[in-house]
Amino acid sequence: MNTEALSSSSYLGEGAGPAAWLLTTDHKRVAWLYLISLTAFFFLGGAMAVLMRIELATPAGDLVSDDVYNRLFSLHGIIMVWFFLVPSIPATLGNFLLPLMIGARDLAFPRLNLASWYVFMLGSLFALASVVFGGVDTGWTFYTPLSTLYANGFVSMAALGVFTVGFSTIMTGINFIVTIHTLRAPGLTWFRLPIFVWTMYATALVMVLATPVLAASLILIVLERMFGIGIFNPALGGDPLLFQHLFWFYSHPAVYIMILPGMGVVSEVLPCFSRRPLFGYKAVALSSMAIAVFGFLVWGHHMFVSGQSAYAGVLFSFLSFCVAIPSAIKVFNWSLTLRKGEITFETPMLYALFFLALFTFGGLAGLFLAALAIDVHVHDTYFVVAHFHYIMVGGMVTAYMAGLHFWWPKMTGRMYPETWGRIAATVTFLGFNLTFFPQFVLGFLGMPRRYHTYPPEFQFWHILSSAGAVVLAIGYLMPLFYLGWSLFRGARAPANPWRATGLEWQTASPPPPHNFDAMPKVSRPAYDYAMKGLQHEKFSPHKDEA
Amino acid sequence: MSFGIPFTPPEASSIAGSVDLLFYTLLAFTALLGVFLTSLVIFYAVKYRAGSSADRTGERARSLPLEVTWTVASLLIAFVIFGWGAALFMRREHPPLEALEIAGLGKQWMWEFRHPGGQREINELHVPVGKAVIVSLASQDVIHSFFVPAFRVKQDAVPGRTTHVWFIASEPGRYRLFCAQYCGTQHSEMGGFVTAMPPEAYAAWLGNQGQGETLVADGEKLFGALGCSGCHGNSSKVRAPDLTGIFGRPVALDNQQTVIADDRYLRDSILNPKKEIAAGYEPVMPSFDGLVDEGEMQMLLAYLKSLSARDTTKSEAIH
């Protein structure tokens, strides 16, 4: 165990003070700026969800008024999607790890990276202002003509916030694409890249190609509200459905922006704690690209009962089944990775296994929604809410937690308390299922989403869900405290506590400002856990070092 | 049902059973696959835990035959589910010819229905069991969605167009009606009940509703009051297209195209007459945008449709 004091040669020791952080162009420090801002947004959006679940414990609207409830779910969606999930892994772990994983000193455009955080913060100011002034009640989907002609909240302000944040997404995307193309270490060929880098690449492509469409549709909303240009207003010859096409043309690919990085994280964690190479590496790498491409062709499956042509519906359903295949391939490969391994169950591994279970069931629920006749019944019900929370929370947030614990020693130079980590992971898993599984039943029963009040016969399932939300909240609050504690009191972490193979583990924990003392050379494939000396070494599970 | 806790919605329409058959088949398949994969992972996790004595020779990091097998198998299964779901879905496009057509209007925050005989209902809809019912949906303001879980039907009502949903209620009873598309402040209050009743009870109910004017008669009055008949009527001096039998007929346009005079075409011709001009006529008709609300639009459309129904052998709504 490395017990020497944090040397000033680490990126953390170089210049304290606010200016040294706020004007940094070190990708590792920018990652922290993002991590702190995103954590704040995660708990803000989470608090709104808890309030909603408390309201929904009874059928009547007795805790908050309908207008307040509508603002809660709208802002919960807006904050969680654009101010947490979209940037979550790319802007924090991706920012920190991408250069380290490919043996580079920084991203290709370090100043653009810092600028992206400032643009993000500018967008958050708009969003927070819209909350403070009285909120917005359009849902995160901004459907017209509700958002353009009828909503009485601060729609333009919120839309401008999301619009602005989009530019920070695009900046990150461009930076990642260029970095991966140009800054790989000698010998690091495309098919030697860790899957995390592949998923960052696929994510960045979608970010750059899809986000401008979101920007265009939000600007049209603002123009329509301010000047009545009429593009979505049937009275002026416009078409409200056009907005849905534009919105989902971005927002469906965006769900892949949100899940692909999570797939990247578990593709790192599962091999490491199984001491096995990732099964079917190439298929996993290429399926990420397939998801990124097919993801652009399925937006119409959000509109099966919208009045869109039934034949378009059939085509979109077909393509939606096609996009399920690469995800299925990944699940099979992850499962087979465990085979013949030497498996240990540290916190990152627990989270990764929980991801695998929740993503599998969430993905299978997607088959119901892609099947046209069933979607007619469960569209816009709690079934949809449950499905995307299984993918976005059970999948993405769980993977985020796995990654945060996995790379915490690298980022901070400190170990987190293992026992607390395992407890939190388990509490989260149980709380999550208790919250969202009942929502599948509610959806099948016909409970529509975005309802402030509901018929009494649904109450049993709502109570389960609300109880689960409290457990889930505890599961997410625990890491806030023990990770915060470990920042100052955690045991010192060695350079490679997990005996992992990635380049990021070959430099000190925390890394020096320039990342590597000597330029690394790569001569082996990723996940080379069968490497001599690693394979037959007796492995003792990691002990608490607190 | 057990202990009063609902697990499944009632099946009360002609399609509910077949949608549920697909649902439960898919449920069985996904549960089996999900449990299999989860068990496999747990099995591996236990068997190959660090320090266990399990045999680890012959490990592989890839297997082309296995990968091809599961890819092809996934594709085939996906295509079967797709085909099944799509085949059931396409029945939405083909309502039975003999159907009772009820006008449904969504507005913040209520559903208003009008039966062919003119009977009005708010947040309640009475329908006969065993007879096809088409609800033609319009919206006065934002997008709403007509959703009756017990019937397994849902259709958005979109401002500026007419959409349709049809069903055959199979079990008498009172079933929840919801608005499924978020529509503003009191979205969760926008709904009520659909009451399915035996045909004779439905006829009796209609009779008790106090005879108003029929939708067609209201439409005919409006057709006169708005001045439509001044040009489109038989004795008109202005040359305007004769609307007898217009609904469902192909119309030649002055740009060489031909369109079918459906709900969309008639609505657009009233609100935006310069958009598609019937060949051989001067574009002199004024727009009625802002003069005709959605309820009145439904009356006008009902009247224009009735001009076709009289010509054909198609019977009136209730036979």
Length of chain A, please? 546
A534 falls within a domain? no
pLDDT of residue A4: 42
Quick check: A347 and A416 in contact, CB under 8 A? yes
**Calpha distance B109→A467 (Å, rounded):** 31
pLDDT above 80: residue B292: yes
B147-163: per-residue pLDDT in tens? Answer: 999 999 999 999 989 99
The answer, for B205 touching chain A at a CB cutoff of 8 Å, is: no
A 438-467: CB under 8 A from B? 441, 444-446, 448-455, 457-458, 460-461
Q: What is the pLDDT of residue B2?
A: 59
Tell whether the model's pLDDT for residue A25 goes beyond 70: yes
Name the CATH superfamily, with its identifier, for domain B100-208. Cupredoxins -  blue copper proteins (2.60.40.420)
Q: Enter the pTM of the model.
A: 0.89
Which whole number is the average pLDDT over A507-522? 92
Summarize pLDDT for B120-138 with one digit per residue, the tens. Answer: 899 999 999 999 999 999 9
Taking only the tens place, the pLDDT of each residue in A72-103 is 999 999 999 999 999 999 999 999 999 999 99
Residue of B nearest to A311 (CA): B90
Is pLDDT at A536 greater than 80 in this prediction? Answer: no
Residue A197 lies in a domain: yes
Is the pLDDT at A537 greater than 50? The verdict is no
* Chain A residues inside the 8 Å CB shell of B54: 340
CA dist B198 and B129 (Å) reads: 5
For position B277, what pLDDT does the model report? 86
Strand pairing of B124-128 and B132-139? unpaired
Q: What is the pLDDT of residue B59?
A: 78
Residue ranges of B 134-163 with Cβ closer than 8 A to chain A: 141-143, 145, 147, 149-150, 152-156, 158-161, 163
Residue B225 has a pLDDT of 83
Q: Which of A143, A274, A318, A340 to mutate to test the interface with B (most CBs of B within 10 A)?
A: A340
Contact between residue A158 and residue A76 where contact means Cβ atoms under 8 Å apart: no
B172: pLDDT strictly greater than 60: yes
Beta bridge partners of B83: none
Mean pLDDT in chain A? 92
In a domain, A514, yes or no: no
* pLDDT for the residue numbered A184: 96
d(CA A14, CA A342): 39
Residue A106 contacts residue A26 (beta carbons within 8 Å)? yes
Q: Which residues make Cβ contacts (< 8 Å) with residue B197, sequence separation at least 6?
A: B126, B127, B128, B129, B172, B205
The fourth-level CATH superfamily of domain B215-309 is Cytochrome c-like domain (1.10.760.10)
Instruction: Say yes or no to pLDDT of A540 above 50.
Output: no
Closest to B115 (Cα-Cα) out of B302, B296, B248? B302
What average pLDDT does the segment A489-496 reach? 94
Which helix H or strand E contains A184, and what residues bound it? none
pLDDT digits (tens, 9 = 90+) for A126-172: 999 998 898 899 999 999 999 998 887 799 999 999 999 999 999 99
Q: Is residue A118 in a domain?
A: yes
Q: What is the percent of chain A with per-residue pLDDT over 90, rounded to a whole number?
A: 88
Judging contacts by C-beta atoms under 8 Å, the chain A residues touching residue B62 are 279-282
Q: In what order do the strands lie in the sheet with B124-128?
A: B124-128, B191-197, B173-179, B144-148, B153-157
| Residue of chain B nearest A448, judged by CA positions | B180
Q: Kindly state whether residue A545 falls inside one of the protein's structural domains.
A: no
Q: pLDDT of B188-209, one tens digit each?
A: 999 999 999 999 999 999 988 8
B-contacting residues in A 294-353 (Cβ below 8 Å): 304-307, 310, 313-314, 317-318, 321-322, 324-325, 328-329, 331-333, 335-336, 338-345, 353
pLDDT classification of B240: cutoffs 50, 70, 90: confident
Assess contact for A235 and A162: CB atoms under 8 A: no
Interface check for B95 against chain A (CB to CB < 8 A): the answer is no
Asked whether residue A285 carries a pLDDT value surpassing 60, the answer given is yes
User: Shortest Cα distance from B19 to chain A (angstroms)?
Assistant: 6
Q: Chain B closest CA to A371's CA: distance in Å?
A: 5
How far is the C-alpha of B235 from the C-alpha of B238, rounded, in Å? Answer: 9
Which chain A residues contact residue B30 at CB under 8 A? 361, 364-365, 367-368
**Which of B181, B183, B288 has the highest number of chain A CBs within 10 A, making it the mutation to test binding with A?**
B181
- pLDDT at res. A427: 98
Instruction: Work out the percent of chain B whose per-residue pLDDT is above 70.
Output: 94
What pLDDT score was predicted for residue B236?
67
Handedness of CA A530, A536, A537, A542 (dihedral sign): positive
- Residue A257: inside a domain, yes or no? yes
A454 or B288, which is more confident: A454
Distance (Å, rounded) from C-alpha A526 to C-alpha A447? 47
B39 touching chain A per CB within 8 A: no
For position A229, which CATH number holds? 1.20.210.10
Residues 120-159 of A with CB under 8 A from B: 137, 139, 143, 145-146, 149-151
8 Å CB contact of B184 and A151:
yes
Residue A11: inside a domain: no
Per the structure, the complete domain to which residue A433 belongs is given by: 22-506
Chain B CB within 8 Å of residue A52 CB: no
Number of Cβ pairs < 8 A linking chain A and chain B: 266
The interface predicted TM-score of the complex, written ipTM, equals 0.91
Does the pLDDT of residue B90 top 80, yes or no?
yes
pLDDT for the residue numbered A205? 96
In a domain? residue A541 = no
Confidence band, pLDDT 50/70/90 cuts, at residue B309: low
pLDDT at B224 over 50: yes
* Cis, peptide link before residue A18, omega less than 30° from 0: no
Task: Round the CA-based radius of gyration of chain A to a whole number and report it.
Answer: 23
**Sequence spans of domains, chain B:** 100-208, 215-309
What is the pLDDT, as a whole number, of residue A543? 37
